[in-house]
């Protein structure tokens, strides 16, 4: 156990100090070492609550999370026996031929997980995975999402207990790995810090789904995902933020891609009162390709922040960043996209787009799609739009006999389909489409805003 510095930022968070001191040491040296690094970084950084000059958090106030005191209990795996597989099946995407790993309150619940159905490689609890594949601990754990880059990443590292580790051997296909993070209802707000590691060796393939689900109470999911995509490997990643309506969610995802590798991601955000998806991709090898698609659907007092960084470090890289948002109620969505093209990353082709549909008078969108380009032979562009449903289109549809609610519903659905359709995994696409159809806001569609009707 490290000695805690007498005066540090962390002193503002007595709960965290107590929980850190009380935490049992991990039996995996790599994890214990990272916890210590994380705690040190957290002592220096605190949480990113500063409002002035805090560019990554310009439009999102982390204050509510910092002020809330959360409880920590050093849960042992599978502590919640009340849950059955059927319960999880009902609320998360589930297929019998997927390898499903359920993380309950931050710890892997073996009883709820389906073992090796099909597919190569390791997909198991974090500690076991690091023990089984030391490379995972040496090159991925805490190295891609370093604790000192963000207060939340530091906090996650300091409390890294469990989560999931995936290691795919060279030239193999790991199939679909379905990771479900489930927070159970508690009287006290609780915080969990799960971590997911993915290491895809050269020329391997893996599909990973991350789903975040929780109850109708206040809690915090502070998650970190680290993915290493080897030469020629491809990883398909889905991130479903389906937290409970009172939840706080902070996710830090870091992906490093080697030569000719492919990483594709679809991030859906529909849940959490305050959600942040901080996604960072480094194209560290020539000819790497990444496609990041996202859809956020907000309502009520929700605040969803997508903060995406794509770093073209090597030549001949391709990146596509396409996020769409549908905002209703008094919700607020933030899109911060940064595409950086380093000096020698010539022949880079980067596009980023953010489109927003505002359905209510009080919704707000803050979009900052920026490009930082230090190389000259590049093709880079970005676009951003915001607006409401096109009145002319609604008028056309109504003139063809569709009533107003049907017409708006159809248009909103079409707007979202552009992202949902990029989900290559068919059962998942159907699941999302279904879920989305049910979620199309019905309160605001009675009238297009400012409409003539």
Cβ 350 vs Cβ 312: under 8 Å: yes
Within 386-405, which residues bind other proteins (CB under 8 A)?
386-388
Cβ 261 vs Cβ 291: under 8 Å: no
**Closest CB to other proteins among residues 156, 348:** 348
Under rule CB under 8 A, residue 380 binds other proteins: yes
Stretch that binds other proteins, among 167-175, 286-294, 297-305, 380-388 (CB under 8 A): 380-388
Nearest to 241 by CA among 269, 220, 262: 269
Shortest distance (Å) from residue 369 CB to other proteins: 6
**Closest CB to other proteins among residues 266, 327:** 327
Shortest distance (Å) from residue 3 CB to other proteins: 34
Cβ 367 vs Cβ 332: under 8 Å: no
Per the structure block, which two tokens stand in for 277? 């998806």
Under rule CB under 8 A, residue 382 binds other proteins: yes
Per the structure block, which two tokens stand in for 260? 């000719």
Shortest distance (Å) from residue 263 CB to other proteins: 23
**Distance between CA atoms of residues 206 and 7, nearest Å:** 45
- Please state, as a whole number, how many other Cβ atoms lie within 10 Å of the Cβ of residue 443: 10
Stretch that binds other proteins, among 170-178, 210-218, 255-263, 355-363 (CB under 8 A): 355-363
Cβ 327 vs Cβ 269: under 8 Å: no
x/- map, 403-432, other proteins, by CB under 8 A: ------------------------------
Burial class (CB in 10 A: 0-12, 13-18, 19+), 45: buried
**Distance between CA atoms of residues 168 and 129, nearest Å:** 11
Under rule CB under 8 A, residue 363 binds other proteins: yes
Question: What does the DSSP 8-state code read for residue 411?
Answer: H
CA dihedral 66, 71, 74, 78 (to 10 degrees): -110
x/- map, 328-347, other proteins, by CB under 8 A: ---------------x--x-
Sole binder of other proteins in the list 115, 134, 300, 381 (CB under 8 A): 381
Under rule CB under 8 A, residue 362 binds other proteins: yes
Shortest distance (Å) from residue 453 CB to other proteins: 14
Sole binder of other proteins in the list 6, 53, 96, 401 (CB under 8 A): 53
Sole binder of other proteins in the list 3, 27, 55, 392 (CB under 8 A): 55
Task: Give bridge partners of residue 283 from the DSSP assignment.
Answer: 257, 312
**Distance between CA atoms of residues 212 and 243, nearest Å:** 6
Our separate counts of H helices and E strands in the chain read 10, 20
**Closest CB to other proteins among residues 382, 413:** 382
Shortest distance (Å) from residue 414 CB to other proteins: 18
Under rule CB under 8 A, residue 383 binds other proteins: yes
Sole binder of other proteins in the list 66, 371, 393, 410 (CB under 8 A): 371
**Distance between CA atoms of residues 389 and 393, nearest Å:** 8
**Distance between CA atoms of residues 262 and 86, nearest Å:** 34
Number of residues that bind other proteins (CB under 8 A): 39
**Closest CB to other proteins among residues 374, 396:** 374
**Closest CB to other proteins among residues 2, 370:** 370
**Distance between CA atoms of residues 242 and 158, nearest Å:** 25
Stretch that binds other proteins, among 267-275, 284-292, 366-374, 429-437 (CB under 8 A): 366-374
Site residues, other proteins (CB under 8 A): 53, 55, 59, 343, 346, 356, 358-388, 449-450
């Amino acid at each position: 156990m490290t000695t805690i510095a007498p005066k540090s930022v962390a002193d503002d968070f007595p709960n965290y100090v107590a929980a850190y001191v009380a935490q049992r040491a991990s039996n995996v040296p790599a994890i214990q070492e990272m916890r210590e690094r994380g705690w040190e970084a957290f002592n220096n950084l605190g949480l990113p609550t500063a409002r002035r000059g805090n560019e990554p958090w310009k439009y999102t106030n982390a204050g509510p999370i910092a002020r809330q005191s959360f409880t920590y209990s050093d849960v042992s795996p599978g502590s919640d026996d009340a849950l059955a597989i059927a319960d999880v099946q009902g609320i998360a995407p589930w297929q019998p031929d997927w390898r499903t790993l359920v993380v309950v309150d931050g710890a892997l619940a073996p009883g709820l997980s389906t073992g090796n159905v099909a597919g190569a490689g390791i997909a198991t609890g974090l500690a076991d995975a690091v023990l089984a594949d030391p490379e995972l601990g040496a090159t991925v754990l805490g190295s891609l999402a370093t604790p000192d880059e963000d207060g939340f990443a530091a906090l996650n590292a300091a409390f890294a207990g469990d989560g999931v580790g995936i290691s795919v051997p060279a030239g193999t296909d790991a199939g679909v790995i379905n990771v479900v993070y489930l927070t159970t209802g508690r009287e006290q707000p609780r915080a969990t810090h799960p971590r997911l590691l993915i290491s895809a060796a050269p020329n391997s393939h893996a599909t990973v789904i991350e789903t975040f689900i929780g109850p109708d109470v206040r809690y915090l999911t502070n998650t970190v995902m680290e993915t290493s995509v080897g030469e020629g490997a491809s990883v398909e990643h889905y991130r479903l933020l389906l937290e409970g309506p009172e939840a706080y969610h902070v996710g830090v995802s870091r992906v490093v891609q080697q030569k000719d590798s492919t990483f594709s991601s679809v991030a859906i955000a529909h849940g959490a009162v305050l959600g942040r998806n901080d996604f960072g991709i480094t194209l560290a090898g020539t000819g790497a390709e990444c496609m990041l698609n996202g859809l956020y659907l907000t309502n009520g007092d929700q605040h969803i922040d997508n903060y995406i960084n794509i770093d073209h470090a090597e030549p001949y890289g391709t990146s596509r960043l396409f996020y769409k948002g549908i905002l209703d109620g008094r919700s607020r969505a933030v899109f911060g996209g940064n595409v950086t093209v380093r000096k020698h990353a010539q022949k880079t082709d980067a596009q980023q787009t953010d489109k927003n549909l505002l359905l209510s008078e009080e919704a707000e969108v803050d979009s900052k799609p920026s490009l930082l380009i230090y190389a000259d032979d590049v093709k880079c562009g970005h676009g951003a739009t915001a607006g409401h449903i096109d009145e002319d289109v609604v008028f056309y549809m109504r003139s063809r006999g569709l009533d107003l609610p049907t017409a708006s519903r159809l248009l909103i659905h079409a707007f979202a389909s552009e992202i949902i359709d990029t989900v290559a995994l068919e059962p998942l696409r159907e699941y999302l489409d279904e879920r989305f159809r049910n979620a199309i806001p019905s309160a605001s569609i009675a009238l297009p805003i400012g409409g003539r009707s």
